[in-house]
């Protein structure tokens, strides 16, 4: 009977509300909550299985912590290691995994400087789950010309076992007073190994070495060190536990909307000197929120049929990088985004229409007054919900 009433709300709401008011029971709205939980599990699965995130190390939870923490670095004897809070890569306010400072290395009257990142392993750079690239930002303050030689070392197990690669080809453009964004491919191509224990699946340290033909004062800035791995779906990367947030948030949203929407309607009707009984109103509004279930089902179907979205590290980078990736994703998913946007417009209108019908029936108001109460009650509820849920 309650399932029949739920369906009837969708195609014949007036008749459904008349029958519900005659025998108001809480079981109907509770059944809608159960359906909403099931639908949101499906929606969450569709969303997480279609969204692939580039795996990075550090994982971004503590920003780009390798250039945030000076204790992880050693450098040429006599070189200074300081935090530079004035010159760094500034990320987006909401999404960025970039920090709020760069790492500055400097030494006076020298033709060479090296800096080594220690205690970061073991890191696997081998196989389908291994990291494929290393990205970093470099800016040269002085001297006023590119280094004549630059080499990167990746240590494995012991300092005597390592891989090394020249970075000369990566500095073909001027790097003086300009932030250079380098992406260095990892693996055997272009790399040489030293020591029998060198193992791509067990990297424990990193070293950068720069050399000039003549001595001078050297100052280099570094930011945003990340090993970049394969793309994994959110479901694979975060596991099914993360999936539980979707039904939990959905139930919170339903209950808050249900209670506050009913409460605001009740207060406003009483303010207009109307007659209204709380229980029938609460139950009818609960049935009206079956529209949230419909919206979730539509969104789940949209994501199931949409193309796979790949989200690289740059999405969580600077404003410009974020916008570029976001625009590319938007172009790829334009049609599906339009469908979701239409549901976001249609469902609130649908809820307001059903609540206005319920107010007219229960309080015997005019259509104009019923719609006024419905509109104000809905927007007050969404305003409250934005503070409680976000």
One domain for residues 215 and 71: yes
One domain for residues 126 and 175: yes
Q: CA-based Rg of the chain, rounded to a whole angstrom?
A: 30
Q: Which of 179, 202, 231 is the last residue of a domain?
A: 231
**Could you give the CA distance from residue 286 to residue 279 in angstroms, rounded to a whole number?**
11
One domain for residues 213 and 244: no
Model pLDDT for residues 344-356, shown as the tens digit of each residue = 999 999 999 999 9
Q: Find the angle CA(156)-CA(70)-CA(174) to the nearest 5 degrees.
A: 80
Q: Find the angle CA(98)-CA(100)-CA(101) to the nearest 5 degrees.
A: 105
Task: Give the residue, 92 or 14, on which the prediction is more confident.
Answer: 14
One domain for residues 88 and 202: yes
Put simply, whether the predicted model's pTM sits higher than 0.95 gets the answer no
pLDDT at 235: 87
Asked if pLDDT for residue 188 goes beyond 80, the answer is no
Q: What is the average pLDDT score of the chain?
A: 91
SS3 per residue for the chain: CHHHHHHHHHHCHHHHHHHHHHCCCCHHHHHHHHHHHHHHHHHHHHHHHHEEEEEEECCEECECHHHCCHHHEEECCCCEEEEECCCCCCCCCCCCCCCCCEEEEEEEEEEEEEEEECCCCCECCCCCCCCCEEEEEEEEEECCCCCCEEEEEEEECEEEEEEEEECHHHHCCCCECCCEEEEEECCCCCCEEECCCCCCCCEEEEEEEEEEEEEEEEEEEEEEEEEEEEEEEHHHHHCHHHHHHHHHHHHHHHHHHHHHHHHHHHHHHHHCCCCCCHHHHHHHHHHHCHHHHHHHHHHHHHHHHCCCEEECHHHHCCHHHHHHHHHHHHHHCHHHHHHHHHHHHHHHHHHHHHHHHHHHHHHCCCHHHHHHHHHHHHHHHHHHHHHHCC
- Residue 187 Ramachandran class (φ > 0 left, ψ -120 to 50 alpha, else beta): left
Q: Which of 209, 231, 253 is the last residue of a domain?
A: 231
Work out the pLDDT band at 390, boundaries 50, 70, 90.
Answer: low
Give me 243's structure tokens: 């999936």
Q: Which of 231, 252, 274 is the last residue of a domain?
A: 231
One domain for residues 239 and 227: no
One domain for residues 8 and 113: no
One domain for residues 209 and 79: yes
Work out the pLDDT band at 152, boundaries 50, 70, 90.
Answer: very high
**Could you give the CA distance from residue 335 to residue 100 in angstroms, rounded to a whole number?**
37
One domain for residues 135 and 39: no
Give me 332's structure tokens: 């790829």
One domain for residues 90 and 194: yes
One domain for residues 172 and 262: no
Give me 242's structure tokens: 């993360």
Report the number of distinct structural domains present in the chain.
2
Q: What are the distances in angstroms from CA 100 to CA 67, 178, 228, 232, 282?
A: 10, 18, 21, 28, 50
Which of 74-88, 149-163, 261-275 has the weakest average pLDDT? 149-163
Asked if pLDDT for residue 269 goes beyond 90, the answer is yes
One domain for residues 49 and 60: no
Reference 113, options 221, 214, 211, 225; nearest CA is 211
In the chain, the percentage of residues whose pLDDT exceeds 90 is 69
CB-side neighbour CA atoms (13 Å) of 70: 12
- CA 286 from centroid of its chain's CA atoms: 32
One domain for residues 162 and 39: no
Model pLDDT for residues 18-67, shown as the tens digit of each residue = 999 888 888 999 999 999 999 999 999 999 999 999 999 998 888 889 99
pLDDT at 1: 58
pLDDT at 175: 72
Rounded mean pLDDT of 65-82?
A: 92
Range of the domain at 74: 56-231
Work out the pLDDT band at 196, boundaries 50, 70, 90.
Answer: confident
Please report where in the chains the tokens 């007659």 appear, as a residue.
275
**Could you give the CA distance from residue 390 to residue 379 in angstroms, rounded to a whole number?**
15
CATH code for the domain in which residue 67 is found: 2.60.120.430
């Amino acid at each position: 009977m309650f399932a029949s009433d739920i369906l009837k709300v969708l195609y014949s709401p007036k008749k459904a509300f008349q029958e519900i008011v005659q025998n108001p029971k809480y079981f109907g709205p509770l059944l809608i909550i159960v359906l909403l939980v099931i639908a949101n599990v499906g929606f969450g699965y569709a969303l997480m299985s279609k969204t692939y995130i580039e795996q990075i190390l550090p994982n971004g939870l503590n920003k780009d912590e390798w250039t945030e923490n000076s204790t992880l670095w050693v450098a040429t004897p006599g070189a200074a290691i300081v935090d530079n809070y004035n010159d760094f890569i500034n990320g987006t306010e909401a999404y960025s995994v970039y920090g709020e400072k760069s790492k500055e290395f400097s030494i006076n009257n020298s033709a060479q400087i090296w800096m080594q990142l220690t205690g970061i392993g073991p890191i696997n750079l081998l196989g389908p789950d291994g990291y494929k690239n290393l990205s970093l930002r470099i800016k040269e303050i002085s001297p006023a010309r590119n280094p004549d030689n630059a080499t990167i070392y990746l240590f494995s197990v012991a300092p005597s076992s390592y891989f090394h690669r020249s970075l000369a080809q990566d500095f073909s453009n001027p790097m003086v007073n300009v932030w250079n964004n380098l992406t260095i491919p990892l693996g055997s191509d272009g790399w040489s190994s030293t020591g029998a224990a060198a193992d791509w699946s067990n990297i424990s340290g990193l070293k950068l070495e720069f050399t000039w033909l003549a001595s001078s004062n050297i100052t280099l800035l570094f930011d945003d060190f990340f090993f970049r791995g394969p793309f994994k779906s959110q479901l694979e990367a975060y596991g099914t536990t993360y999936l539980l947030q979707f039904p939990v948030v959905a139930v919170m949203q339903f209950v808050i909307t249900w209670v506050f929407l009913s409460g605001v309607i009740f207060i406003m009707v009483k303010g207009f000197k109307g007659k209204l009984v709380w229980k029938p109103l609460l139950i009818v509004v609960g049935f009206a929120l079956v529209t949230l279930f419909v919206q979730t089902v539509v969104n789940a179907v949209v994501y199931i049929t949409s193309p796979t979205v790949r989200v690289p590290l740059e999405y969580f980078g600077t404003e410009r990088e974020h916008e570029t990736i976001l625009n590319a994703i938007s172009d790829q998913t334009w049609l599906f985004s339009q469908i979701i946007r239409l549901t976001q417009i249609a469902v609130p209108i649908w809820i307001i229409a059903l609540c206005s019908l319920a107010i007219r029936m229960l309080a015997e108001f005019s259509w104009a007054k019923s719609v006024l109460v419905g509109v104000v009650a809905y927007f007050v509820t969404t305003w409250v919900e934005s503070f409680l849920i976000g």
